[in-house]
A and B are shown apart, each in its own frame.
Chain A
Protein backbone atom coordinates (compact mmCIF):
# COMPACT_ATOMS: atom_id res chain seq x y z
CA UNK A 1 0.00 0.00 0.00
CA UNK A 2 0.96 3.64 -0.31
CA UNK A 3 1.65 4.98 3.16
CA UNK A 4 1.48 8.52 4.42
CA UNK A 5 1.72 10.46 7.66
CA UNK A 6 -0.14 13.52 8.89
CA UNK A 7 1.57 16.80 8.30
CA UNK A 8 2.45 18.60 11.53
CA UNK A 9 -0.59 20.39 12.92
CA UNK A 10 1.08 23.85 12.96
CA UNK A 11 1.75 23.47 9.23
CA UNK A 12 -1.92 22.71 8.57
CA UNK A 13 -3.02 25.61 10.74
CA UNK A 14 -0.71 27.89 8.77
CA UNK A 15 -1.88 26.83 5.32
CA UNK A 16 -5.52 27.34 6.26
CA UNK A 17 -5.01 31.02 6.94
CA UNK A 18 -7.74 33.03 5.28
CA UNK A 19 -10.05 30.07 4.77
CA UNK A 20 -13.38 29.78 6.55
CA UNK A 21 -15.09 26.79 4.94
CA UNK A 22 -12.85 23.78 4.67
CA UNK A 23 -13.49 20.28 3.44
CA UNK A 24 -11.31 17.52 4.85
CA UNK A 25 -11.34 14.59 2.42
CA UNK A 26 -10.09 11.11 3.15
CA UNK A 27 -9.49 8.06 1.04
CA UNK A 28 -10.73 4.66 2.18
CA UNK A 29 -7.97 2.69 0.49
CA UNK A 30 -4.22 2.80 1.17
CA UNK A 31 -4.12 5.74 3.57
CA UNK A 32 -6.97 4.20 5.54
CA UNK A 33 -4.95 1.01 5.92
CA UNK A 34 -1.99 2.96 7.23
CA UNK A 35 -4.21 4.99 9.59
CA UNK A 36 -3.32 8.33 8.04
CA UNK A 37 -6.22 9.34 5.84
CA UNK A 38 -9.23 7.06 6.19
CA UNK A 39 -12.59 7.98 7.64
CA UNK A 40 -11.33 7.65 11.20
CA UNK A 41 -8.43 10.00 10.59
CA UNK A 42 -10.63 12.49 8.73
CA UNK A 43 -13.09 12.57 11.62
CA UNK A 44 -10.19 12.94 14.05
CA UNK A 45 -8.40 15.72 12.19
CA UNK A 46 -11.52 17.81 11.56
CA UNK A 47 -12.32 18.65 15.22
CA UNK A 48 -8.61 18.91 15.97
CA UNK A 49 -8.17 21.54 13.27
CA UNK A 50 -11.17 23.45 14.56
CA UNK A 51 -9.71 23.52 18.06
CA UNK A 52 -6.20 24.41 16.93
CA UNK A 53 -7.51 27.26 14.80
CA UNK A 54 -9.77 28.47 17.59
CA UNK A 55 -6.72 28.85 19.79
CA UNK A 56 -5.52 31.39 17.23
CA UNK A 57 -8.83 33.20 17.27
CA UNK A 58 -9.99 31.72 13.99
CA UNK A 59 -13.31 29.97 13.55
CA UNK A 60 -13.78 27.73 10.54
CA UNK A 61 -16.51 25.44 9.35
CA UNK A 62 -15.13 22.01 8.65
CA UNK A 63 -16.95 19.48 6.53
CA UNK A 64 -15.75 15.94 6.08
CA UNK A 65 -15.97 13.32 3.39
CA UNK A 66 -14.19 10.07 2.72
CA UNK A 67 -14.08 8.70 -0.79
CA UNK A 68 -13.66 5.07 -1.66
CA UNK A 69 -10.61 6.09 -3.70
CA UNK A 70 -9.26 9.53 -4.40
CA UNK A 71 -7.21 8.23 -7.32
CA UNK A 72 -10.25 7.34 -9.43
CA UNK A 73 -12.16 10.07 -11.22
CA UNK A 74 -15.51 8.39 -10.67
CA UNK A 75 -15.08 8.61 -6.91
CA UNK A 76 -13.59 12.13 -6.96
CA UNK A 77 -16.73 13.27 -8.74
CA UNK A 78 -18.67 12.63 -5.53
CA UNK A 79 -17.20 15.88 -4.19
CA UNK A 80 -18.88 17.96 -6.91
CA UNK A 81 -21.91 18.70 -4.72
CA UNK A 82 -20.00 19.91 -1.69
CA UNK A 83 -17.10 21.63 -3.47
CA UNK A 84 -19.03 24.83 -4.28
CA UNK A 85 -19.74 25.26 -0.57
CA UNK A 86 -16.11 25.35 0.57
CA UNK A 87 -13.14 27.58 -0.13
CA UNK A 88 -10.42 25.01 0.53
CA UNK A 89 -9.90 21.27 0.58
CA UNK A 90 -7.47 19.41 2.80
CA UNK A 91 -6.86 15.98 1.33
CA UNK A 92 -5.57 13.12 3.43
CA UNK A 93 -5.00 10.92 0.40
CA UNK A 94 -1.61 10.09 -1.05
CA UNK A 95 -0.07 12.53 -3.51
CA UNK A 96 -2.00 10.88 -6.34
CA UNK A 97 -5.36 11.50 -4.71
CA UNK A 98 -4.47 15.05 -3.75
CA UNK A 99 -3.56 15.84 -7.35
CA UNK A 100 -6.73 14.22 -8.66
CA UNK A 101 -8.85 16.43 -6.40
CA UNK A 102 -6.83 19.52 -7.36
CA UNK A 103 -7.24 18.69 -11.05
CA UNK A 104 -10.98 18.14 -10.76
CA UNK A 105 -11.52 21.33 -8.76
CA UNK A 106 -8.93 23.80 -10.09
CA UNK A 107 -10.89 26.75 -8.73
CA UNK A 108 -10.28 25.59 -5.15
CA UNK A 109 -7.22 25.65 -2.96
CA UNK A 110 -6.34 22.00 -2.39
CA UNK A 111 -3.81 21.29 0.33
CA UNK A 112 -2.06 18.07 1.34
CA UNK A 113 -2.92 17.01 4.85
CA UNK A 114 -0.32 14.26 4.75
CA UNK A 115 3.16 13.57 3.50
CA UNK A 116 3.23 10.49 1.28
CA UNK A 117 6.26 8.51 2.32
CA UNK A 118 6.55 5.00 0.92
CA UNK A 119 5.11 1.85 -0.61
CA UNK A 120 4.91 -0.37 2.40
CA UNK A 121 3.39 -3.33 4.18
CA UNK A 122 1.85 -3.51 7.62
CA UNK A 123 4.32 -5.60 9.60
CA UNK A 124 2.09 -5.69 12.68
CA UNK A 125 -0.63 -3.38 14.00
CA UNK A 126 0.87 0.09 14.17
CA UNK A 127 4.05 -0.70 12.25
CA UNK A 128 4.58 -0.25 8.52
CA UNK A 129 7.75 -1.06 6.63
CA UNK A 130 8.82 0.07 3.15
CA UNK A 131 8.82 -2.73 0.61
CA UNK A 132 8.90 -1.20 -2.87
CA UNK A 133 10.48 1.87 -4.43
CA UNK A 134 8.60 1.66 -7.74
CA UNK A 135 12.00 1.65 -9.44
CA UNK A 136 10.74 0.35 -12.75
CA UNK A 137 13.25 -2.50 -13.03
CA UNK A 138 12.26 -5.20 -10.56
CA UNK A 139 15.00 -7.54 -9.36
CA UNK A 140 12.99 -9.50 -6.79
CA UNK A 141 13.49 -12.68 -8.81
CA UNK A 142 17.25 -12.41 -8.34
CA UNK A 143 17.21 -11.33 -4.73
CA UNK A 144 15.04 -14.08 -3.30
CA UNK A 145 12.01 -11.90 -2.82
CA UNK A 146 13.69 -9.07 -0.91
CA UNK A 147 13.94 -5.64 -2.51
CA UNK A 148 17.40 -4.12 -2.08
CA UNK A 149 16.24 -0.87 -3.64
CA UNK A 150 13.58 -0.11 -1.05
CA UNK A 151 14.98 -2.04 1.89
CA UNK A 152 18.68 -1.24 1.76
CA UNK A 153 19.53 2.22 3.08
CA UNK A 154 22.00 2.56 0.20
CA UNK A 155 19.93 0.63 -2.37
CA UNK A 156 22.93 -1.61 -3.02
CA UNK A 157 22.52 -4.14 -5.82
CA UNK A 158 25.43 -6.50 -5.21
CA UNK A 159 25.60 -7.35 -1.54
CA UNK A 160 25.82 -5.57 1.75
CA UNK A 161 27.92 -2.61 2.70
CA UNK A 162 30.34 -3.02 5.56
CA UNK A 163 27.90 -1.73 8.10
CA UNK A 164 25.77 -4.78 8.78
CA UNK A 165 25.56 -5.36 12.53
CA UNK A 166 26.42 -8.73 13.98
CA UNK A 167 22.76 -9.38 14.65
CA UNK A 168 21.85 -8.78 11.02
CA UNK A 169 20.52 -5.27 11.52
CA UNK A 170 21.29 -2.21 9.43
CA UNK A 171 23.96 0.18 10.62
CA UNK A 172 21.67 3.17 10.28
CA UNK A 173 18.81 1.77 12.38
CA UNK A 174 18.99 -1.11 14.81
CA UNK A 175 15.28 -1.77 14.24
CA UNK A 176 15.73 -2.34 10.52
CA UNK A 177 16.98 -5.63 9.13
CA UNK A 178 19.92 -5.56 6.74
CA UNK A 179 18.17 -6.72 3.60
CA UNK A 180 21.32 -8.24 2.18
CA UNK A 181 21.68 -10.34 5.32
CA UNK A 182 18.11 -11.51 4.76
CA UNK A 183 18.80 -12.21 1.09
CA UNK A 184 21.85 -14.28 2.03
CA UNK A 185 19.97 -16.25 4.68
CA UNK A 186 17.16 -17.10 2.30
CA UNK A 187 19.59 -18.03 -0.46
CA UNK A 188 21.44 -20.29 1.97
CA UNK A 189 18.20 -21.93 3.09
CA UNK A 190 17.42 -22.71 -0.53
CA UNK A 191 20.95 -23.94 -1.19
CA UNK A 192 21.49 -21.28 -3.84
CA UNK A 193 24.10 -18.97 -2.36
CA UNK A 194 26.14 -19.25 -5.56
CA UNK A 195 23.44 -17.26 -7.35
CA UNK A 196 24.46 -14.25 -5.31
CA UNK A 197 27.92 -14.31 -6.88
CA UNK A 198 26.46 -13.07 -10.15
CA UNK A 199 27.25 -9.38 -10.55
CA UNK A 200 24.18 -7.36 -11.34
CA UNK A 201 24.78 -4.55 -13.80
CA UNK A 202 23.49 -1.05 -13.13
CA UNK A 203 19.70 -0.96 -13.12
CA UNK A 204 17.66 0.67 -15.81
CA UNK A 205 16.41 3.62 -13.81
CA UNK A 206 14.89 5.28 -16.87
CA UNK A 207 11.76 3.17 -16.50
CA UNK A 208 10.64 5.11 -13.43
CA UNK A 209 11.14 8.67 -12.20
CA UNK A 210 14.60 9.00 -13.69
CA UNK A 211 13.19 8.76 -17.18
CA UNK A 212 10.82 11.66 -16.67
CA UNK A 213 7.20 11.45 -15.53
CA UNK A 214 5.99 7.92 -16.10
CA UNK A 215 3.33 7.33 -18.69
CA UNK A 216 1.88 3.91 -19.40
CA UNK A 217 -0.35 3.38 -22.41
CA UNK A 218 -2.29 0.22 -23.20
CA UNK A 219 -3.93 0.63 -26.56
CA UNK A 220 -6.18 -2.37 -25.94
CA UNK A 221 -7.73 -0.60 -22.95
CA UNK A 222 -8.08 2.90 -24.37
CA UNK A 223 -11.47 4.23 -25.49
Chain B
Protein backbone atom coordinates (compact mmCIF):
# COMPACT_ATOMS: atom_id res chain seq x y z
CA UNK B 1 0.00 0.00 0.00
CA UNK B 2 1.11 3.51 -0.66
CA UNK B 3 2.58 5.15 2.39
CA UNK B 4 3.75 8.72 1.99
CA UNK B 5 5.73 8.54 5.21
CA UNK B 6 8.04 5.91 3.85
CA UNK B 7 10.75 6.58 1.37
CA UNK B 8 12.38 4.20 -1.02
CA UNK B 9 15.58 5.30 -2.59
CA UNK B 10 16.16 2.14 -4.56
CA UNK B 11 13.33 -0.40 -4.83
CA UNK B 12 14.48 -3.99 -5.10
CA UNK B 13 12.96 -5.52 -8.21
CA UNK B 14 12.95 -9.17 -9.16
CA UNK B 15 12.61 -9.79 -12.88
CA UNK B 16 11.62 -13.26 -14.01
CA UNK B 17 11.62 -13.56 -17.75
CA UNK B 18 11.07 -16.10 -20.47
CA UNK B 19 14.38 -16.88 -22.10
CA UNK B 20 12.59 -17.26 -25.43
CA UNK B 21 11.61 -13.60 -25.24
CA UNK B 22 15.29 -12.71 -25.39
CA UNK B 23 17.18 -12.43 -28.64
CA UNK B 24 19.42 -15.42 -29.32
CA UNK B 25 22.28 -13.01 -29.77
CA UNK B 26 21.71 -11.44 -26.38
CA UNK B 27 23.31 -12.58 -23.20
CA UNK B 28 20.91 -13.87 -20.56
CA UNK B 29 20.84 -11.71 -17.48
CA UNK B 30 21.10 -13.78 -14.33
CA UNK B 31 21.37 -12.80 -10.69
CA UNK B 32 21.73 -9.40 -9.05
CA UNK B 33 22.23 -6.34 -11.18
CA UNK B 34 22.90 -3.10 -9.38
CA UNK B 35 23.66 0.03 -11.31
CA UNK B 36 22.80 3.64 -10.76
CA UNK B 37 19.05 3.88 -10.25
CA UNK B 38 18.40 0.16 -10.46
CA UNK B 39 18.58 -2.67 -7.95
CA UNK B 40 17.32 -5.71 -9.76
CA UNK B 41 17.64 -9.48 -9.68
CA UNK B 42 17.15 -11.34 -12.94
CA UNK B 43 16.07 -14.94 -13.37
CA UNK B 44 15.51 -16.61 -16.74
CA UNK B 45 12.80 -19.22 -17.13
CA UNK B 46 12.38 -21.78 -19.92
CA UNK B 47 8.87 -20.36 -20.35
CA UNK B 48 6.95 -17.68 -18.48
CA UNK B 49 4.38 -20.33 -17.58
CA UNK B 50 6.91 -21.78 -15.15
CA UNK B 51 5.97 -19.10 -12.65
CA UNK B 52 3.73 -20.31 -9.86
CA UNK B 53 1.62 -18.07 -7.60
CA UNK B 54 3.56 -19.36 -4.60
CA UNK B 55 6.91 -18.32 -6.11
CA UNK B 56 5.69 -14.81 -6.84
CA UNK B 57 4.26 -14.40 -3.36
CA UNK B 58 7.37 -15.77 -1.67
CA UNK B 59 9.53 -13.29 -3.53
CA UNK B 60 7.40 -10.49 -2.13
CA UNK B 61 7.13 -12.08 1.32
CA UNK B 62 10.93 -12.16 1.33
CA UNK B 63 11.01 -8.39 0.93
CA UNK B 64 11.30 -7.59 -2.77
CA UNK B 65 9.55 -4.32 -3.54
CA UNK B 66 8.28 -5.49 -6.88
CA UNK B 67 8.20 -8.43 -9.26
CA UNK B 68 8.21 -8.09 -13.01
CA UNK B 69 7.29 -11.05 -15.20
CA UNK B 70 8.42 -10.76 -18.81
CA UNK B 71 6.61 -13.02 -21.27
CA UNK B 72 6.51 -13.44 -25.02
CA UNK B 73 3.78 -11.67 -26.98
CA UNK B 74 0.45 -13.46 -27.13
CA UNK B 75 0.46 -16.01 -29.92
CA UNK B 76 4.26 -16.22 -29.94
CA UNK B 77 4.78 -18.75 -27.17
CA UNK B 78 7.07 -21.63 -28.08
CA UNK B 79 4.89 -23.84 -25.88
CA UNK B 80 1.63 -22.62 -27.42
CA UNK B 81 -0.16 -20.98 -24.49
CA UNK B 82 2.51 -20.66 -21.81
CA UNK B 83 2.44 -16.88 -21.85
CA UNK B 84 -1.35 -16.87 -21.59
CA UNK B 85 -1.14 -19.06 -18.52
CA UNK B 86 1.51 -16.78 -17.09
CA UNK B 87 -0.77 -13.78 -17.51
CA UNK B 88 -3.66 -15.60 -15.80
CA UNK B 89 -1.42 -16.48 -12.88
CA UNK B 90 -0.10 -12.95 -12.62
CA UNK B 91 -3.66 -11.61 -12.57
CA UNK B 92 -4.61 -14.15 -9.92
CA UNK B 93 -1.67 -13.19 -7.71
CA UNK B 94 -2.43 -9.50 -8.23
CA UNK B 95 -5.94 -10.14 -6.90
CA UNK B 96 -4.45 -11.92 -3.88
CA UNK B 97 -2.07 -9.03 -3.24
CA UNK B 98 -4.99 -6.66 -3.21
CA UNK B 99 -6.81 -8.84 -0.71
CA UNK B 100 -3.70 -8.84 1.47
CA UNK B 101 -3.61 -5.04 1.14
CA UNK B 102 -0.13 -5.26 -0.35
CA UNK B 103 -1.12 -3.59 -3.60
CA UNK B 104 -1.49 -5.41 -6.91
CA UNK B 105 0.95 -2.95 -8.47
CA UNK B 106 3.86 -4.75 -6.86
CA UNK B 107 3.47 -7.42 -9.54
CA UNK B 108 3.35 -6.61 -13.22
CA UNK B 109 3.68 -8.40 -16.52
CA UNK B 110 5.32 -7.09 -19.66
CA UNK B 111 5.54 -8.69 -23.06
CA UNK B 112 8.32 -8.57 -25.58
CA UNK B 113 10.39 -10.56 -28.07
CA UNK B 114 13.93 -10.45 -29.35
CA UNK B 115 14.76 -8.51 -26.24
CA UNK B 116 18.32 -7.44 -25.57
CA UNK B 117 20.02 -7.03 -22.19
CA UNK B 118 19.38 -3.33 -22.58
CA UNK B 119 15.67 -3.95 -23.18
CA UNK B 120 15.38 -6.07 -20.05
CA UNK B 121 17.16 -3.45 -18.00
CA UNK B 122 14.89 -0.81 -19.45
CA UNK B 123 11.77 -2.81 -18.54
CA UNK B 124 13.06 -3.13 -14.99
CA UNK B 125 13.97 0.54 -14.90
CA UNK B 126 10.40 1.46 -15.80
CA UNK B 127 9.20 -0.20 -12.60
CA UNK B 128 11.40 1.93 -10.36
CA UNK B 129 9.27 5.06 -10.17
CA UNK B 130 5.91 3.29 -9.68
CA UNK B 131 7.45 1.23 -6.89
CA UNK B 132 8.94 4.32 -5.28
CA UNK B 133 5.46 5.82 -5.22
CA UNK B 134 4.07 2.60 -3.77
CA UNK B 135 6.57 2.72 -0.94
CA UNK B 136 8.78 0.00 0.49
CA UNK B 137 7.55 -3.52 0.97
CA UNK B 138 6.48 -3.75 4.61
CA UNK B 139 7.93 -7.26 4.75
CA UNK B 140 11.42 -5.77 4.63
CA UNK B 141 11.45 -5.13 8.36
CA UNK B 142 11.82 -8.80 9.24
CA UNK B 143 15.51 -9.06 8.55
CA UNK B 144 14.84 -9.59 4.90
Contact = CB atoms under 8 A, between A and B. Distances in A.
A55 B139 CA distance: 9
B57 A52 contact: no
Contacts of B52: 40, 43-44
A21 interface: no
Nearest to A13: B100
A44 B59 CA distance: 11
Interface in A53-83: 54-55, 59
A59 B53 CA distance: 22
A47 interface: yes
B99 A50 contact: no
Given A40-B52, A48-B96, A50-B139, A55 B101 contact: yes
Interface string B61-101: 10000000000000000000000000000000000110111
Contact of A9 (B54, B57, B100, B142): B100
Contacts of B57: 44, 47-48, 51
A144 B52 CA distance: 41
A54 B101 CA distance: 10
A43 B54 contact: yes
Given A40-B53, A59-B142, A52 B58 contact: no
A52 B54 contact: no
A10 B98 CA distance: 12
A52 B96 CA distance: 10
23 contacts: A9-B96, A9-B99, A40-B53, A40-B54, A43-B54, A44-B96, A47-B60, A47-B61, A48-B96, A48-B99, A51-B57, A51-B60, A51-B97, A51-B138, A51-B139, A52-B99, A52-B100, A52-B101, A52-B102, A54-B138, A55-B100, A55-B102, A59-B142
Interface of A: 8-10, 40, 43-44, 47-48, 50-52, 54-55, 59
Given A43-B52, A44-B54, A51-B102, 14 more contacts: A9-B96, A9-B100, A43-B54, A43-B58, A44-B57, A44-B96, A47-B57, A48-B96, A50-B139, A51-B57, A51-B139, A52-B99, A52-B102, A54-B142
